[in-house]
């Protein structure tokens, strides 16, 4: 299953709290709340298939993702969800914790948010004993990252009427931008440059760098 790339405009936030810092002319803020609205638009994620274990036990299973959520954190952002599973007459729920990679493509001017691992175990019960069937990798159902327009989208131009009634064209674009992953938001702080000639210089954007945990950032917790 693949999803079409989602390209959404940044929410623009004029941040007074950035005074005294550089860059400090304006800030773009992308909240995790806005990103999680994408899951609502995508709809239900599910799967089903036949299975066979031990050469004697077979049947069909089905599962569906419930309450998917991406959480932004300065160190390592994550993806969480519940998965409801039915294996024949046996049913249970798994809580999944996966890892999210956040990056920036300078050429395309896009922030990418990609689920890179999110795993749960598919199993059944035979004579009151747990029997493993397989692991389901949810990241394979989110092959395309969520894509959002970056700070270069702020570039614009405007007309200004001079005292002699001539019209001068003014061009505005970000110059230096620093992107940071913070709790619940991705904030991009920028300086801007305004001039009366079109720009030739490329905007410099420092992309976010997140420290990945040394341990595998995948937790499987099953609740019968």
pLDDT in tens, the chain (224 residues): 434 333 333 333 333 343 345 567 888 899 999 999 999 999 999 999 998 887 777 899 999 999 999 999 998 899 999 999 999 889 999 999 999 999 999 889 999 999 999 999 999 988 888 899 999 999 999 999 999 999 888 888 999 899 999 999 999 998 889 999 999 999 999 998 999 888 887 788 888 867 654 444 444 556 65
Q: What backbone torsions phi and psi does residue 12 show, to the nearest 5 degrees?
A: -95, 130
Q: What is the pLDDT of residue 5?
A: 38
3-state secondary structure of 141: helix
pLDDT for res 76: 87
Looking at residue 88, its pLDDT comes to 87
Cα separation values, 220 from 25, 42, 82, 146, 199, Å: 44, 24, 10, 24, 51
b/e sequence 39-62, b meaning 16+ C-beta within 10 Å: beebeebebeeebebeeeeeeebe
* Bridge partners (DSSP) listed for residue 7: 147
In whole angstroms, what is the distance from residue 117 CA to residue 141 CA? 11
Cα 187 to Cα 54, 105, 116, 120, 132, distances in angstroms = 52, 16, 22, 32, 43
- Kindly report the pTM of this predicted structure: 0.78
Displacement of CA 81 from its chain's centroid (Å): 14
DSSP state of 25: S
CB of 53 closer than 8 Å to CB of 131: yes
In the three-class reduction of DSSP (H, G, I as helix; E, B as strand; rest coil), residue 154 is classed as helix
Residue 2: what pLDDT? 38
Torsion of CA 9, 14, 15, 18, to 10 degrees: 100
HSE of 198, CA atoms in CB hemisphere, 13 A: 1
Helices and strands, counts by H and E, the chain: 1, 16
Q: What is the pLDDT of residue 175?
A: 86
């Amino acid at each position: 299953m693949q999803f079409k790339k989602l390209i959404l405009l940044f929410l623009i936030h004029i941040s007074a709290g950035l005074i005294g810092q550089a860059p400090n002319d304006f800030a773009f803020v992308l909240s995790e709340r806005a990103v999680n609205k994408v899951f609502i638009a995508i709809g239900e994620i599910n799967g089903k298939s036949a299975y066979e274990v031990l050469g004697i036990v077979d049947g069909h299973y089905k599962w569906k993702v419930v309450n998917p959520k991406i959480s932004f954190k300065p160190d390592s952002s994550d993806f969480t969800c519940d998965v409801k599973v039915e294996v024949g007459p046996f049913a249970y729920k798994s809580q999944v914790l996966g890892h999210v990679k956040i990056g920036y493509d300078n050429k395309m001017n896009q922030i990418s948010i990609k689920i890179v691992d999110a795993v749960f175990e598919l199993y059944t019960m035979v004579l009151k004993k747990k029997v493993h069937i397989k692991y389901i990798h949810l990241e394979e159902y989110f092959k395309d990252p969520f894509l959002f327009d970056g700070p270069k989208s702020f570039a614009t131009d405007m007309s200004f009427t001079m005292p002699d009634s001539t019209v001068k064209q003014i061009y505005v674009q970000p110059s230096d931008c620093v992107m940071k992953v913070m709790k619940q938001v991705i904030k991009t702080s920028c300086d801007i440059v305004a001039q009366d000639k079109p720009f030739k210089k490329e905007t410099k954007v420092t992309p976010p760098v997140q420290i990945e945990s040394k341990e595998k950032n995948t937790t499987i917790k099953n609740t019968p």
